[in-house]
Amino acid sequence: MNNELNGVIVIDKPANITSAKVVAIIKKLFGAGKVGHAGTLDPEATGILLCCVNKATKLSRFFLTGSKKYEAVLHLGVETDTQDAAGKIISTSNELDFTEKTISAVFREFEGAIEQVPPAFSALKYKGTPLYKLARKGKAIIKPSRPVFISYNKIRKINMPFISFEVCCSSGTYIRTLCSDIGKKLGCGGHLKKLRRIESSGFTINEAVTLSKLEQLVSTGKINDRIISMSEALHDMPEYIVDKILTKKIKHGILLTTKDFMPGNIDDLKNFIKIVDRNNNLTAILKINKDSNRYNYCCVFN
């Protein structure tokens, strides 16, 4: 069991495999005690799946709320019960005589802060049961709409009935629901034909490795070249380099206040800060409580 390998690896997930299966493959390849992903992808979708190994599984929640970018293909004129190509067709339309100007205008309507109803076929839960399991039994549960934010929808190509586009959005946004909503707005219906995640929480597809390449790296002993250290993985989180005295306090869980930090070094630090040693090893993550001038422990690493 390899419990010394700690960090994040960016996987380029292939189609027709679940995110859970990818995690199981990595766990077996690495001989790791723990592996988890930070943000699932539907089985048919491809692209970035952030996987946290061993101690880095404690960091998963810090990646779940990051923004995402996708390349997607919308199929107009065909509506499915799952809002994607895997579902059953529930309606069709041949009324697809839209101008590029009309399509662009509708896409712009779904930018900024919008309300989105999560799909009935999703991993969200109702009384402990995933919605997709209930939907398959004919007991579809419609969750209340919730706010999401779409930074932009960029149409790349229109080849009716298909529209290729790129979208940058907040965590929790369903691209298949976006496709369905755009189809409804146009009056012809539509579903998500293809989806690829190209960015997640600041990680890009250029950093990703395929499962076949991953297996090759493991077999040649070069896997450390692709593991992102825990401190480097939290690239957007402000850091504070600790001395031996503060390191000892952290390891013993002693309450920390502003007096424990050098004056002027924490003025610009907000919400969470990562504590690293002089070798850039992650020691802890703290949450700032400015009202009490105290720091709450989120994670501590030996």
Q: Which residues are catalytic?
A: 42
Backbone angles phi, psi at 32, to 5 degrees: -85, 150
| Among candidate residues 167, 205, 91, 132, the one with its CA nearest the CA of residue 179 | 167
Distance (Å, rounded) from C-alpha 35 to C-alpha 54?
6
- E strand or H helix at 106: helix 100-109
Distance (Å, rounded) from C-alpha 61 to C-alpha 70?
21
Cα angle 291, 292, 293 (rounded to 5 degrees) comes to 100
User: 245 by DSSP, 3-state: which?
Assistant: helix
Distance (Å, rounded) from C-alpha 36 to C-alpha 186?
39
Q: Which residue has the tokens 């995640």?
A: 197
Q: Which residues pair with 167 in a beta bridge?
A: 70, 153
Distance (Å, rounded) from C-alpha 210 to C-alpha 14?
8
What angle, rounded to 10 degrees, do the helices at 211-219 and 19-30 form?
Answer: 10
User: In angstroms, how far is CA 227 from the centroid of its own chain?
Assistant: 18
Residue type, 93: S
Give the DSSP letter string of 30-63.
HT-S-EEESS---TT-EEEEEEEEGGGGGGHHHH
